[in-house]
Amino acid sequence: MVYIIDYGAGNISSIKNMLKKIGADSIITSIPAEIAEAKKIILPGVGSFDTGMKLLKDRGWIEMLNYKVLKDKISVLGVCLGVQLMCKQSEEGQLKGLGWIDADVIRFKPEKATEPIRVPHMGWNSVKQLRDVALLKLHEEHRFYFVHAFHLDNVPEENKWLQTHYGYNFISGIQKENIYGVQFHPEKSHKYGMELYKNFAALK
């Protein structure tokens, strides 16, 4: 069973539909106590960093999430804003993130791009796997759907998983022990997203 965290800022119905397509059981929950026995959770998210962190705090999620992820070491997948909330902080706001990953979140810098870019980054883009992680087997080009104006920065080398080029290279996927995160939307990425969610659901 995969628990999808509903804290008021996620694309949760699309994720549940994708999990259903691949035959994975899932439940959407807005009650922190309901994940007490969970083995896998997805932390989705759309919108701004501070809004996401405020909603997690106001709805009582932070203590339970920290316990399950950092103490119980259950598998967690952060999606879009969800992976950004796993970091220390963001240029987008003033609140501190969950701090599970020792990284920051910054806005795209068009002045650093080697070609003109528009912000936000929207549409399909390919990913390069920097190291082997169980969620993807890149035997062919993998393309995913992105919608974001901010991306991860200062990611520790050992936590870098996926890289994408949009004006310049940025980290689009991270992994640290039981913690996984992707900047793109697997639930909008057809067969490639199905593969990623299927592998996540199959984690032991």
Tokens of 76: 């967690």
- The DSSP bridge pattern shows strands 40-43 and 121-129 to be unpaired
Catalytic residues: 80, 185, 187
Residue with tokens 């990284």: 103
Element (H, E) at 64: helix 62-66
Cα separation, 22 vs 41, in Å, equals: 16
Question: How would DSSP label each residue in 85-123?
Answer: HTSSEETT-SS----SSS-EEEE--GGG-SS---SSEEE
**DSSP code, position 185:** B
CB atoms within 10 A of CB 110: 13
Burial profile 18-57: b = 16 or more Cβ within 10 angstroms, e = fewer: bbeebebebebbeebeebeebebbbbbbbebbebbbbbbe
What is the residue type of 81? L
